[in-house]
Amino acid sequence: MRLKRALLGLLGVVLLGVAGFFYFTRHPALPAIQPASAASFDRAQVAKGAELALIGNCNSCHTSQDGPAYAGGRPLETPFGTIYATNITPDPDTGIGAWSEAAFRRALREGVRRDGAHLYPAFPYDHFTKVSDDDARGLYAFFMTREPIRAETPANTLPFPWSERPLIAGWKLVFFRPGELKPDPTLSAELNRGAYLVEGLAHCGACHTPRNRLGAERNERYLGGGDIEGWHAPALNANSPAPVAWTRDQLFTYLRNGFVAPHGVAAGPMQAVANNLGLVAEQDVKAIATYIGAMLAPATANRQKNTESLGSAAQVQAPPQTESASASTDGAILYAGACALCHEPTGQHFSAHGIPLRASKVIAMPDARNLAHVVLDGIDPPNASPAAMMPGFAAAFTDGQLTQLLAYLRRTFSDQPPWSQLEDKVREARQSTRGP
Amino acid sequence: MLNINGRAHAVTAEATTPLLYVLRDELGLNGAKYGCGLGQCGACTILLDNRPVLSCITPIAVTQGREITTLEGLGNPDNPGPVQKAFIAEQAAQCGFCIPGMIMRAEGLLRRNPSPSEKEIRSHMSANLCRCGTHMRILAAVRRAAKSARSARSGPPLTQDARR
């Protein structure tokens, strides 16, 4: 009897708690405004916002393929279903034209829509919450002065219960820590600036940090490597798989130009980031490079060894000719016939910018998909490095041939163990290939 | 053994040899051109299982048991194929060096997509370079070839089988 009463009491407390939780996590709708004229915004603020929007990589998600900039509609495939990026041009009906600066700032920093509904954390407000008032104002000025585009955002295709936005309140309670990033007085101004950009607007962790089953970044593995659009986003901390140590200057050049020797090219979803960072103030890219360089930590002994051996010509001059001559390995034949021409110093790599594959990031990665994507689709050169292109081999290689080639590259040009389920990874990459 | 334009050819080259070298040096099929030799210009384009491939960076090892189509397989000066006819009609060649590759890339598109949009044509053809700058005529030739194929819809090479 007493137990029953205790249970009933407990149930009541829980119900009250749930009711209270939803009550207190409700957000009011903010009033719609008449869109202000573009001329009413301070031009310096707009210019500042333009750079910030590039650092935030806003165009990558909020622009559909071949669609007008920032008009949304791009599908983001998540493990929970497809979420469509919204129209953030100042169209009053389908965009954010009716949003006040307060509504914009609340969306950015708290993940709440103007009408009070919660936004899915596919919009990385867990990072944007760290953006300062001043920067939020610049971004608002930039977006409100874009050309308004009338473009309805397609409805998300999320199954129940993920379709229920009030549940996001619970997600936020557990995983979301709002608040600006305060500078650390023990660090240099540049490191603080880098931390502010990387952890905030640039939201590097959104791709480079692994996520848990509920889609939240696992902070204990910050920048420990994640997944994005069928690609692996490599670890940017001490677990970096990079076979060659990165210097700060190399990171800077890579982020700004999309290519740096000997590491190679920014491919896949990273290329848009480099294209954007090529257009912003140099000192901000330097700050990001400095911060990421610090996160990468001192190079491991093995990476240091590779770096030194790549520096000395003798080591680089050792193409795996003996294996290919014996013709016992099909992967070696494919390498010799298709890759060596540009990737061996004896070939024409000087004009083709082929990197020595010992230095290749993608061959050393824990996941074979990136290398499969690069071989199948090739590499479109980043804006600032037009020579860094590679033709795709999707029509030339069958899945079986590609699997053999990838296994050969892994075994020959990295110290890493063979990839598991290589055939599956090849098939997976093939499905999303653009074709010839 | 290479299967080229429906005929089997025995070759002596090593498995790593680029297909282009075998076509030109061993078999005298000179339609495919050596441009950059690095897979960047498209002058060496041929079809492998009906898809355009850069033969200068494709070792013959990967072509075993697969169907190779070269420019010579589309027609000859007396009896040019539909895409070749369209390139002649539009006078798409200036120096002409890129044109065999352009024709093969266009052929690869039309076999899989007989009614490409302007955007599809441009994006598909962008892999091949022309240094003379006859791009507008090349594009016109591809549009003409698509149109004539739509109105004809018969005979090689646009058979149902080839279009898969």
Closest CA of chain A from B127, distance in Å = 9
Residue A20, pLDDT above cutoff 80: no
Nearest to A334 among B48, B51, B62 (CB): B62
Using CA atoms, how far apart are residues A341 and A29, in angstroms rounded to an integer? 61
Starting at the earlier edge strand, list the strands of the sheet with B2-4: B7-9, B2-4, B67-69, B45-48, B51-54
d(CA B43, CA A29): 61
Question: When comparing pLDDT for A121 and A432, which is higher?
Answer: A121
Length of chain B (residues): 164
Interchain CB contact of A88 with B (< 8 Å): no
Torsion of CA B30, B35, B41, B46, to 10 degrees: 20
User: pLDDT category, B164, cuts 50, 70, 90?
Assistant: very low
Whether A396 and B48 lie within 8 Å, measured CB to CB: yes
In the numeric block, the tokens 């960072």 are attached to: A277
- In three-state form (DSSP H/G/I as H, E/B as E, the rest C), the secondary structure along chain B is CEEECCEEECCCCCCCCEHHHHHHHHCCCCCCCCCCCCCCCCCCEEEECCEEEEHHHCEHHHHCCCEEECHHHCCECCECCHHHHHHHHCCCCCCCCCHHHHHHHHHHHHHHCCCCCHHHHHHHHCCCCCCCCCHHHHHHHHHHHHHHHHHHCCCCCCCCCCCC
Residue of B nearest to A338 (CA): B57
pTM confidence score: 0.89
Q: What is the pLDDT of residues B17-59, one digit of tens each?
A: 999 999 999 999 999 999 999 999 999 999 999 999 999 999 9
Residue B32 tokens, joined: 């495919």
Total CB pairs under 8 A between chain A and B:
67
Going by pLDDT thresholds of 50, 70 and 90, the confidence category of residue B163 is very low
Hey, are the CB atoms on A341 and B37 less than 8 Å from each other? yes
Closest by Cα among A409, A340, A338 to A372 = A409
Chain B residues interacting with chain A (CB cutoff of 8 angstroms)? 14-18, 37-40, 48-49, 51-54, 57-62, 108, 119, 124, 127
Q: Mean pLDDT across the stretch A262-288? A: 97
pLDDT of residue A345: 79
Query: To which residue do tokens 């492998």 refer?
Result: B48
Distance from CA of B38 to the nearest CA of A (A): 7
- Does A333 contact B16 at a Cβ distance shorter than 8 Å? yes
Please state which of the ranges A110-119, A381-390, A427-436, B51-60 shows the lowest mean pLDDT.
A427-436
CA diameter of chain B: 44
Stretch 33-72 of chain A: residues touching chain B, C-beta under 8 Å: 66
DSSP state of A188: -
Helix, coil or strand: residue A320:
coil
Q: Is the dihedral of CA A64, A70, A75, A77 positive or negative?
A: positive
Which residues of A165-271 form beta strands (DSSP E)?
226-228, 231-233, 259-260, 264-265
Answer yes or no: do B53 and A395 touch at CB < 8 A: yes
pLDDT in tens, A315-374: 444 444 444 444 445 899 999 999 998 898 776 555 667 899 999 999 999 999 999 999
Q: In terms of DSSP H, where are the helices of A30-163?
A: 43-55, 58-62, 101-110, 125-128, 133-144
Q: Is A338 on the interface with B (CB under 8 A)?
A: yes
- List B42's β-bridge partners, or say none: none
User: Distance (Å) from the C-alpha of residue B125 to the closest C-alpha of chain A?
Assistant: 10
- Residues A231 and A369: beta-carbon distance below 8 Å: yes
Contact B51 A436 (CB under 8 A): yes
- Residue that has been written with the tokens 């590259």 in this structure: A409
Question: What long-range pairs does A413-417 form, CB within 8 A, spacing at least 24?
Answer: A413/A357, A413/A358, A413/A360, A413/A363, A414/A243, A414/A358, A414/A360, A414/A363, A414/A364, A415/A243, A415/A302, A415/A364, A416/A241, A416/A364, A416/A366
CA distance B78 to chain A (A): 30
Split at pLDDT 50, 70, 90, the class of B159 is very low
Please give the pLDDT value at position A249. Answer: 97
Q: For residue A397, list chain B residues with Cβ-Cβ distance below 8 A.
A: 62
Which chain A residue has the Cα nearest residue B65? A398
Interchain CB distance below 8 Å, B40 and A389? yes
- Cα(A338)–Cα(B63) distance, rounded to whole angstroms? 13
Closest C-alpha to B39, from A311, A375, A76 = A375
- pLDDT confidence of residue A17: 65
The answer to whether B53 contacts A436, with C-beta atoms less than 8 Å apart, is: yes
Spell out which residues of chain B touch residue A398, defining contact as CB-CB under 8 Å: 62
CB-based contact B39 A391, cutoff 8 Å:
yes
Residue in the block written with tokens 């339609």: B31
Taking only the tens place, the pLDDT of each residue in A208-265 is 999 999 999 999 999 999 999 999 999 999 999 999 999 999 999 999 999 999 999 9
pLDDT value at residue B93: 96
Distances (CA, A) of A94 to A4, A89, A91, A151: 53, 8, 6, 6
Decide if B50 contacts B112 (C-beta within 8 A).
yes
A64 phi, psi to nearest 5 deg = -80, 165
Q: Is the pLDDT of residue A111 over 50?
A: yes
Closest CA to A52 of A119, A143, A122: A143
Q: List the structure tokens of A18.
A: 């749930």
State pLDDT tens for residues A143-194: 999 999 999 999 999 999 999 999 999 999 999 999 988 899 999 999 999 9
CB-based contact, A336 to chain B, within 8 Å: yes
pLDDT at A328 (0 to 100): 44
ipTM of this complex: 0.90
A395–B127 CB contact, under 8 Å = no
Average pLDDT in chain A: 90
pLDDT band for position A273 (50/70/90)? very high
pLDDT tens by residue, B70-113 = 999 999 999 999 999 999 999 999 999 999 999 999 999 999 99
For residue A79, give how far its alpha carbon lies from the nearest alpha carbon of chain B (Å). 31
